[in-house]
Amino acid sequence: MLNVNDIRDNKEEYIRLLKIKNFDASSVFEILIRKDNDRKLLQQKNDELLFKANKLAKEIGALYKEGKKLEADELKAKSLILKKKTKELHFKKESLEKEIYEKLKDIPNIPHSSVTNGETEKDNIIIKESGKIPILVNNALTHWELASKYNLIDFELGNKITGSGFPVYIDKGAKLQRSLISYFLDKNINAGYKEFIPPHLVNEDSAFGTGQLPDKDDQMYHVKLDNLYLIPTAEVPITNLFRNQIIDQNSLPIKCTSFTPCFRREAGSYGKDVRGLNRLHQFDKVEIVQLQTPEKSYQTLDEMVNHVSNILDELDLPYRIVKLCGGDLSFTSSLTYDFEVYSAAQKRWLEVSSVSNFENYQSNRLKLRYKDKNGKKYLCHTLNGSALALPRIFAAILENYQTEKGIIVPKVLQSYMDLTIIN
């Protein structure tokens, strides 16, 4: 969520930048600034009245002690009038604040100045391509065919016990999955990230803090009886670890990593690119999260992008990094780089990571701040990315590493798998 003071200070620039996200902010900003000015006036007036009322109350107390009951009763009458007025002002202010909030929550985050115009993913900019696309055997199989051929994943069993989008990993499939998780976590920990295993269900406050509520509640699984939500990503519990905190600047950046399953209803996306592991309701992901000062957050974003690149290099998968255009950028992000690996049998690029800087859009809502040497408080910048999402990496490994003899295990995974080929 943006805050009004920033909007007031940077109005024209914000309007210009939000156009890149195809959001016309000019009239909303006018309304917001006007309402906020009204709010300030109300605050001043109300404080003044309360000041008087507080003073009267003290005087009344003193008079009672002196036994001057009559004079005290006179002041009481005065005080009652004041009290009535302050109550009125209080409610006015409250409703004004609510109106301001309602407007603010519908304004997307300001894109970074380097974000380009564009409507859809077609307008994204490929900033790096790496690795070479493998030449596959003649009748190369897709990952779902390979998964079934080598009995690595049973999609039918998942249908039986839950429904579509809930695969069952079996035997070497399960081990490959587990190896990838361990490998990713080890890489992240070596890069200075601290590992967390958070709860997989979160309360309303947490879902609100990272912005899934109030608007995206239909994308989360909801446990009604306890009013808890299954996490759609580790970002939710991990970022919320720091909700309502004031962090010492010296302890920034804070770097966290976490492996969790992710649960997504994916309402409305049925029937679209959903074969095999391409789109699931439950999938595993290793996430990285950083908290950083505004001055260094873009440096940190680059660092995170390099880190993810490094993992994909080691896995020897062909990938490209895409910088999202304004139209494709998410509501809450200022700048996002997507990582896509090439899945050679499907002949498709699959998104496996999305690394974003949210600047203070999340932290404003989370009340996540840091304190500098002089004790001044500022909102943190929050960043996160996948390092990495499992299913599509799994898919790409099966497809790209397939040979007539079986699926070669990528070098860096061999020690985890205790195996060099799946056949």
Partner RNA sequence: GGAGAGAUGGCAGAGUGGUCGAAUGCGGUGGUCUUGAAAACCAUUGUGCAGCAAUGUACCGGGGGUUCGAAUCCCUCUCUCUCCGCCA
Give the footprint of RNA on this chain (CB under 7 A): 5, 36, 39-40, 43-44, 46-48, 50-51, 53-58, 60-61, 64, 76, 79-80, 83, 227, 246, 369, 371, 375, 377
Answer whether 233's CB lies under 8 Å from 207's CB. no
b/e per residue, 366-383, with b = 16+ CB within 10 A?
Answer: bebbbeeeeeeeebbbbb
**Diameter of the chain by CA atoms?**
104
Shortest Cβ distance from residue 52 to RNA (Å)? Answer: 8
Containing 325, the helix (H) or strand (E) segment is none
Closer residue to RNA, CB minimum distance, 43 or 159: 43
Closer residue to RNA, CB minimum distance, 137 or 294: 294
Closer residue to RNA, CB minimum distance, 47 or 313: 47
Pair type for strands 335-343 and 153-154: unpaired
DSSP notation for 27-90: HHHHHHHHHHHHHHHHHHHHHHHHHHHHHHHHHHHHHHHHT-HHHHHHHHHHHHHHHHHHHHHH
Shortest Cβ distance from residue 238 to RNA (Å)? Answer: 19
Shortest Cβ distance from residue 99 to RNA (Å)? Answer: 15
User: How many whole angstroms separate alpha carbon 323 and alpha carbon 325?
Assistant: 7
Which residues, in sequence order, are CB contacts of 101 under 8 Å at separation 6+?
none
Shortest Cβ distance from residue 254 to RNA (Å)? Answer: 17
DSSP notation for 292-314: E-TTTHHHHHHHHHHHHHHHHHH
Containing 259, the helix (H) or strand (E) segment is strand 254-263
Shortest Cβ distance from residue 244 to RNA (Å)? Answer: 9
Q: Is 200 exposed, middle or buried (0-12, 13-18, 19+ CB in 10 A)?
A: middle
Shortest Cβ distance from residue 390 to RNA (Å)? Answer: 25
Closer residue to RNA, CB minimum distance, 16 or 39: 39
Closer residue to RNA, CB minimum distance, 30 or 313: 30
Closer residue to RNA, CB minimum distance, 55 or 160: 55
Other beta carbons within 10 Å of 404: 8
Shortest Cβ distance from residue 44 to RNA (Å)? Answer: 4
Shortest Cβ distance from residue 6 to RNA (Å)? Answer: 11
**Inter-CA distances, 224 with 201, 323, 394, Å:** 12, 38, 33
User: How many whole angstroms separate alpha carbon 89 and alpha carbon 84?
Assistant: 9
Q: Phi, psi (5° rounding) for residue 193?
A: -85, 140
Shortest Cβ distance from residue 400 to RNA (Å)? Answer: 39
Shortest Cβ distance from residue 229 to RNA (Å)? Answer: 13
Closer residue to RNA, CB minimum distance, 64 or 270: 64
Closer residue to RNA, CB minimum distance, 3 or 282: 3
**Inter-CA distances, 217 with 208, 221, 222, 227, 266, Å:** 10, 8, 8, 12, 11
Closer residue to RNA, CB minimum distance, 59 or 266: 59
Contacts 24+ apart (CB under 8 A), 406-409: 406/150, 407/146, 407/150, 409/176
Closer residue to RNA, CB minimum distance, 44 or 113: 44
User: How many whole angstroms separate alpha carbon 292 and alpha carbon 359?
Assistant: 9
